[in-house]
Amino acid sequence: MRRELGPGLDDPRWPGPVRLVELTAQNALAVHQLLALGREYSGGQVADYATWLNAFETDPEFDQALCFVVEDALGVVAVAQCWTSAFIRNLVVHPRAHRQGLGLALLNQLFAVFRQRGEGYVDLKVMESNLGARRLYERAGMQYIQRHELEPR
């Protein structure tokens, strides 16, 4: 799916008492745990913690500034990890915060950041079976640009 970053981007509307924070050494484990939880619910891949964390130092696609972390009173509640190539690698909202508008606010935040970086669009891949995510991305203005058949496992 793809979202063009031209005119008409919405400002993020953060629901309730949440705050956007940086990825830090203090919250990195909680961020990774939420990414792993997302994998359980909707598929995808997340490397083990050490490999994932090390990639911020060794992989040019990883940039801490493109790991958008949202916290509430209980801790990390949402994360969107993007690559420098304007690709959303993972987006996960904790089940305790589903259906509150947090995913849409997070998408609008990262769209604004990529637009400020001079990108023309943001891409992602989503499984056909992940209906909740597909509905979210459609609400955020993302459009299907290509479909692929999965190879049997």
**CATH at 46:** 3.40.630.30
30 within some domain: yes
Q: Provide the residue range defining the domain that includes 124.
A: 2-139
122 within some domain: yes
146 within some domain: no
CB atoms within 10 A of CB 103: 24
SS3 content of the chain, % helix, strand, coil (to 5): 35, 20, 40
Tokens of 115: 């637009």
23 within some domain: yes
Count of the separate structural domains present in the chain: 1
In sequence order, the β-bridge partners of residue 121 are 4
150 within some domain: no
Note the helical H segments in 7-101.
Answer: 28-42, 49-58
Question: Residue 81's closest CA among 17, 141, 124, 115?
Answer: 124
Instruction: Give the residue with greater pLDDT, 151 vs 99.
Output: 99
**Residues 36-94 pLDDT 10s:** 998 877 666 789 999 999 999 999 999 999 999 999 999 999 999 999 999 999 999 99
